Amino acid sequence: MRSALVGALLCGVAIAAAAQEREVTFEEPQPVTVTGFAVGDASYDRVARSNTFTAGKIGVSLFKPVGEAYLFAQLTTALEDGESSTEIDNLLVSWTPQRANRWTLAFGRFDAPIGFERDDEPLNLITTNSFNFTYARPSKLTGVQVHYTASSRLDIWAVAANGWDVAADNNQGKTALGRAQLIPIPWVTVGVTGVYGPERDSTDAHQRSLLSGDITVDRGPLIIGAELNFGREQNGGANPTWRGGAATVFLRVARGWGLTARYDQLEDSDGLLTGTPQILRSVTVGPMWYFSSAREGIFSNIEHTRFHLPQIALRGAIRADWSTQPFFTDATGGLQGSDTRAVLELVYIF
């Protein structure tokens, strides 16, 4: 009797669906995947004469596939200068047509496809970001991007965005970005990116252009990530320029242990980016202890490498900064030409 009732019910559903010309499926919809990370650190700043413990950042990400498309969103709460703020760090709707799966169209706020460093701590191999990441190029863009996979070794991006690191456009113009990324041999990735557009508030003049190149080498226990940036902004007869580069080296010295070093230099000779005509240099070095592996998801690998992100990482670093002009704020509010910082950072991925 029970089997007969079940069969009758299924037949009724099928007949009703046929009448309404709808496809019926008994598959469960794919759930929303929730991932994220938390960051805490202890730091000491020689010039500012400060030492502090900080529960610095937490990011929560949502991933939802819907047919040929997916939604990825990330809310990040960060503490800076004693004040906390929450922002939409990423919000991306991406569509890859089944019949043209080499093409992907995406809209929203996303990491700029430039260089080796990224905004989120789990995606980097060392504590603190370089001067090049902070000043010389955009890290976030809001707009539309098209990605074309030409082959297993060549990828191409085209982006139209509001501007460098702005959520809402600060003028009427748009910023264009184009990138080509090549894998000449399996353990080397090379990218070239061009960016052009107006970046000043309330004006479409003073067009800014940037040419950026990056390379990633993943060879056994050694990872090398480097980038070069060359930029200029139109300003009548005198066009301010800048150039810079950063190189990061990570060496796995034992199971669960690694050593990272980075050299960074930014030549802002006209003071366009930093407000002070100067050359900034930094050297950062420190160990990493890591345990377990994060589950598969958005936070899975260091980009362009096979290094799977650990679920727990404890990273220490000593960073020495120099400038050709007084630039680093000391405890009295004055400016100094050099600074030294020590950071111990804990990153947890969930």
141-179 pLDDT, tens digit per residue, is: 999 999 999 999 999 999 999 999 998 899 999 999 999
pLDDT of residue 29: 65
Q: What is the DSSP letter of 174?
A: -
The pLDDT of residue 165 is: 93
DSSP character at residue 152: S
* pLDDT at 237 (0 to 100): 76
Q: Which of 210, 212, 157, 209 is nearest to 181 (CA)?
A: 157
Token pair listed for 160: 């139209």
Confidence (pLDDT) at 3: 45
The letter for the amino acid at 126 is I
Q: CA nearest 159: which of 139, 131, 178, 136?
A: 178
CB 309 within 8 A of CB 301: yes
pLDDT, position 296:
60
Distance, in Å, from the CA atom of 326 to the CA atom of 74, rounded to the nearest integer, reads: 37
Kindly compute the dihedral angle of the four CA atoms of residues 14, 20, 23, 29, in this order, to the nearest 10 degrees.
Answer: -100
Q: Determine the pLDDT at residue 79.
A: 85
**In this structure, what DSSP letter does residue 292 have?**
S
Contacts of 115 (CB under 8 A, 6+ apart): 132, 133, 137, 193, 212, 214, 227, 229, 246
Label the pairing between strands 328-329 and 312-323: unpaired
Q: Which amino acid is at 289?
A: W
Q: Where are the alpha helices (DSSP H) in the chain?
A: 2-20, 131
Q: Extract the tokens encoding 16.
A: 């009703």
Four-way CATH pick for 44-349: 2.40.160.10, 1.20.910.10, 1.20.120.1200, 3.40.190.10: 2.40.160.10
C-beta neighbour count of 219 within 10 angstroms: 12
Burial of 1 (0-12, 13-18, 19+ CB in 10 A): exposed
pLDDT in tens for each of the 350 residues of the chain? 444 434 443 444 444 444 444 454 545 567 888 989 999 999 999 999 999 999 889 999 999 999 999 999 999 999 887 788 899 999 999 999 999 999 999 999 999 999 999 999 999 999 999 999 999 999 999 999 999 999 999 999 999 999 999 988 999 999 999 999 999 999 999 999 999 999 999 999 999 999 999 999 999 999 999 999 999 999 877 899 999 999 999 999 999 999 999 999 999 999 999 999 999 999 999 999 999 887 665 568 898 999 999 999 999 999 999 999 999 999 999 999 999 999 999 999 98
3-class secondary structure per residue, 65-98: EECCEEEEEEEEEEEECCEEEEEEEEEEEEECCH
- Please name every residue paired with 188 in a beta bridge, in sequence order, or none if there are none: 185, 217
Geometric angle at alpha carbon 132, from 162 and 261, rounded to 5°? 140
What is residue 298's predicted lDDT score, i.e. its pLDDT? 58
Contact (CB, 8 A) for 203 and 171? yes
Are the beta carbons of 189 and 304 closer than 8 angstroms?
yes
Query: What pLDDT score does 191 carry?
Result: 98
**AA identity, residue 45:** D
Give the per-residue pLDDT at 238: 83
Closest CA to 163 of 178, 151, 175: 175
